[in-house]
Amino acid sequence: MQVLKFGGTSVASADTIRQSLAIVAAAAEQSPVVMVVSALGGTTDVLIGAGRTAALADTAYRETLNQLEKRHLTAAQDLLAPEAQQPAVALIDAQFDELRHLCDGIFALGELSNRTLDRLMSYGELLSSQLIAAAAQAHGLAAGWADARQLIQTNSRFGMAEVDVAATENQVAEFKTHNSDKIWIVPGFIAADAHGTTTTLGRGGSDYTAALLAAALGAGKLEIWTDVSGMMTADPRLVRSARPIARISYQEAMELSHFGAKVLYPPTIQPVMRRGIPLWIKNTFAPADYGTLVEVSPPRSAAVVQGISSISNLTLLNLEGSGMVGIPGFSKRLFAALARERINVVLITQSSSEHSICVGVSAQDAAPAQVAVDEEFAHEIAAGRIEPLRPEKDLAIVALVGENMKDHPGISGKLFGALGQNGVNIRAIAQGASEKNISTVIRAADVRKAINVLHEAFFEATVKQVNLFILGPGNVGSKLLEQLARQQSQLLEKLGLQVRVVAIASSQHCLVNEEGLDLTAWTAALAAAPAQTLAEFSQLIIGRNLRNSIFVDVTANPAAAGIYADLLAKSVAVVACNKVAASSEYALYARLKSLAKEFNTSYLFETNVGAALPIIGTLNDLTRSGDVVRRLEAVLSGTLNFVFNNYDGTRPFAEVVRQAQAEGYTEPDPRLDLSGSDVARKILILAREAGEVMEMADIEIETFLPPACLEGDVEAFYTQMAAHEAHFRALYDAATAAGKRLKFVARYADGRAAVGLQSIAPGHDLYDLRGKDNVVLFNTDRYVEQPLVVKGAGAGAEVTASGVFADIIRAARL
């Protein structure tokens, strides 16, 4: 004997019913089949709607019933040959007559009791099962209809009746002795109490019907046929990469189904587990798929965590107060008060200080729970020994499920680490001693992110999705987007990083696509996208709440630095080639670094000094490993090095500066380079990274520009440089006459830093520096005789973009 249950989607239309019957016919070739069926998909909701409308004295229920009857008649006509239709049509007519009478009664009374509602809902399964039985017979199957109300006996708790297992087993055994049909077709969900009054087993109860029959019959197996290929590792509506779990234990399936894996009605497992009957979850629309086999002891796969489940709409109730400490009986009273109101407790935690007990209940139970508990403890509350109950709303549970977790240290560490790195705050935790389930209570708004993060951590060791928000697609930004577009597949293949650019914002427009923008065609799309302020962009990043989010600032805009703190505090990583934040007042620099630490994320700005050269990284490696930086000597301006390497008086100085700007070495405002301010920012950042508490005002800047060059706008700057050509020529001639080269040098030693133009003699480490190169000489406790030298191209959009790219990868791999 085997029991096959078909859900609403599997019997929603004539086509799907035919498909389900074909599965049953094939199974019946092996052994007799009990086919348990749900109502035609959606019918139960329609019936409830009709009842509620009638109770509100609204005659619309009549049309609702007409439509529902039409649907059943159409199914009968589609399923049965014309000559076989008459009995089915008569049956449908008769059932709808009864339904109309029932609803007329509800209409007249203006009341819909649970008892009447059970009766009303039962017509869905009564109709579908009798129609399917007629179709099975018409297809030549040896099938008969069996009324579940004569098989399954319950108490009289209408709406959610409790099964009398012994009576049910007797009735099933009795029925079996008088029934020789090879296939029984049975309505799911419905039962009857000891007086024969119709009851129901709770929404989703058809699974339970099937499990009860399987247990009572000692079936060889129970199959639940549905519209997905098994129990999934996570809710596939939330996690794209969720996949079916092939084999799972009863305990694990029970945990997962209790925690929201809707594919199985939770009470279903108990009856088959009791008898050790294997339970298959199969897909009616893809019968060849393996599905999920639930059994006593599945072969142990390498997976420690079998699935991730969630329950939404949770409210935490926190009973708290010093009067609870060391006094027995508080929990008993709390739970008794909740039980009196029939409030189901979903989760319990208590701190070992005994100062508080926290329970999770469904949101709709929160208000009655609060009243009940505050009443129970009215005396203690009045005496100030405990606080009135504090409900915390809009929460959800996300749980890891797996029997192997108990033998495996580090699972909760990984769980908390993954959530923490993504700014998911955990409000409460529960883990039973059996360690089959580790539950975390988090904000409902974080559920999607949390489940995806955990799915990546536990099921997709090879792939991590990274979501980028890019501000300022100018010279560097555009190159970065080109590089990302070129490298996307490599990143996935080699590093397991699925890097998606979710948003690009210029100062005019903001282009967003949560699935990832097309990086080969963003320019035109951005130009057509709507406008957005910086504050709105920040809110967009926070509001989207995507896992592994990274904000990339490729502007030079001082205001952009103003949003870093909010982002870091939400665990959004910040990667910036914009130097404003790291060179602003020390307090902001220090705060951003500490926020990154506090919220387990990254604030990376390697390109602030020397573009993609590993200067900050080297300095960090030295200091973290205990070295002490004594002196830094450096050429840190690609622009100035390019200018002094190319200026020899044959072309005007201003023209060489224009060339540096055209080649993308200067700041968007080249006066920052020529004035020495940009170099001052860089040595300030290095000094800070070396451990110095220093402000911009502490840097001595010796500018070589005549003051007039810095008056007015950028065009005036070029005009004034042209007017002062003799000044630049004189600087050049003096250095050349001494056999030296001009270098704009930055120095840091003994807590002081200075920048200025110097004539460098041959043989000096700074002398032989080509093109737009930068160089940094690190003199440290370990590098005493010879400095550690980092040298190479220190400016240019392409290299800078590659440095930003490298920081993105660092942040992604944190």
Ligand X SMILES: N[C@@H](CC=O)C(=O)O
The residues that touch ligand NAI, with contacts defined as CB under 6 A, are 471-472, 474-477, 505-507, 534, 554-557, 559-560, 577-579, 607, 611, 638, 664-665, 667-668, 795-797, 800
When CB distances are held under 5 to 8 angstroms depending on the partner's kind, the choice from ligand NAI, ligand X, none that residue 637 binds is ligand X
- Cα–Cα separations (whole angstroms), residue 618 to 637, 751, 766: 18, 20, 19
When CB distances are held under 5 to 8 angstroms depending on the partner's kind, the choice from ligand X, ligand NAI, none that residue 534 binds is ligand NAI
Tell me the C-alpha distance between 114 and 99, whole Å. Answer: 16
Nearer to ligand NAI, 461 or 662 (CB): 662
Please identify the residue of the shown chain whose CB is closest to the bound ligand X: 639
Q: Regarding beta strands 437-443 and 390-401, do their DSSP bridges make them parallel or antiparallel, or are they unpaired?
A: antiparallel
Phi, psi of 570 (to 5 degrees): -105, 20
When CB distances are held under 5 to 8 angstroms depending on the partner's kind, the choice from ligand X, ligand NAI, none that residue 507 binds is ligand NAI
Taking the alpha carbons of 421, 423, 424, 430 in that order, is the dihedral positive or negative?
positive
When CB distances are held under 5 to 8 angstroms depending on the partner's kind, the choice from ligand X, ligand NAI, none that residue 294 binds is none
3-class state of residue 352 by DSSP = coil
Q: Regarding beta strands 699-702 and 788-793, do their DSSP bridges make them parallel or antiparallel, or are they unpaired?
A: unpaired
* Cβ 606 to ligand NAI shortest distance, Å: 10
* Cβ 608 to ligand NAI shortest distance, Å: 7
Tell me the C-alpha distance between 16 and 78, whole Å. Answer: 11
Tell me the C-alpha distance between 451 and 735, whole Å. Answer: 65
When CB distances are held under 5 to 8 angstroms depending on the partner's kind, the choice from ligand NAI, ligand X, none that residue 664 binds is ligand NAI
List active site positions: 682
When CB distances are held under 5 to 8 angstroms depending on the partner's kind, the choice from ligand X, ligand NAI, none that residue 505 binds is ligand NAI
When CB distances are held under 5 to 8 angstroms depending on the partner's kind, the choice from ligand NAI, ligand X, none that residue 506 binds is ligand NAI
Contacts of 256 (CB under 8 A, 6+ apart): 231, 248, 264, 306, 307, 309, 401
Nearer to ligand X, 611 or 790 (CB): 611
Tell me the C-alpha distance between 778 and 788, whole Å. Answer: 5
* Cβ 588 to ligand NAI shortest distance, Å: 16
Mark 154-173 as b/e (b = at least 16 C-beta within 10 Å). beeebeebebbbeebbebbe
Q: Which residues bind to ligand X, rule: CB under 6 A? A: 611, 637-639, 665-667, 673, 678, 794-795
Q: Quick one: tokens of 515?
A: 């699935």
Tell me the C-alpha distance between 107 and 65, whole Å. Answer: 14
Nearer to ligand NAI, 233 or 475 (CB): 475
Look-up of token digits 């948003």: 503
The residue length of the chain stands at 814
Please identify the residue of the shown chain whose CB is closest to the bound ligand NAI: 474
Nearer to ligand X, 266 or 794 (CB): 794
490, 484 in Cβ contact below 8 A? no
* Cβ 798 to ligand X shortest distance, Å: 12
- The DSSP line for 160-176 is SPPB-HHHHHHHHHHHH
Q: Which has the closest alpha carbon to 32: 186, 197, 161, 259?
A: 186
* Cβ 581 to ligand NAI shortest distance, Å: 10
Nearer to ligand X, 307 or 664 (CB): 664
Q: Give the chain's count of helices (H) and strands (E).
A: 27, 29
Nearer to ligand NAI, 204 or 477 (CB): 477
Tell me the C-alpha distance between 189 and 208, whole Å. Answer: 7
Nearer to ligand NAI, 491 or 609 (CB): 609
Q: Quick one: tokens of 451?
A: 């489940």
Look-up of token digits 């040959």: 81
* Cβ 717 to ligand X shortest distance, Å: 15
Tell me the C-alpha distance between 142 and 145, whole Å. Answer: 11
Query: What distance lies between CA 85 and its chain's CA centroid?
Result: 51
Nearer to ligand NAI, 217 or 611 (CB): 611
Contacts of 399 (CB under 8 A, 6+ apart): 255, 259, 308, 309, 310, 311, 437, 438, 439, 440
* Cβ 772 to ligand X shortest distance, Å: 7
* Cβ 616 to ligand NAI shortest distance, Å: 12
Tell me the C-alpha distance between 666 and 670, whole Å. Answer: 5
When CB distances are held under 5 to 8 angstroms depending on the partner's kind, the choice from ligand X, ligand NAI, none that residue 673 binds is ligand X
Q: Quick one: tokens of 77?
A: 């006509």
When CB distances are held under 5 to 8 angstroms depending on the partner's kind, the choice from ligand NAI, ligand X, none that residue 639 binds is ligand X
* Cβ 666 to ligand X shortest distance, Å: 5
Nearer to ligand X, 136 or 636 (CB): 636
3-class state of residue 420 by DSSP = helix
Q: Strands, DSSP E only, in 508-628?
A: 510-512, 549-553, 573-576, 603-604
On the 0-12 / 13-18 / 19+ scale of CB atoms within 10 A, 334 is buried
* Cβ 693 to ligand X shortest distance, Å: 23
Phi, psi of 484 (to 5 degrees): -60, -45
Nearer to ligand NAI, 158 or 551 (CB): 551
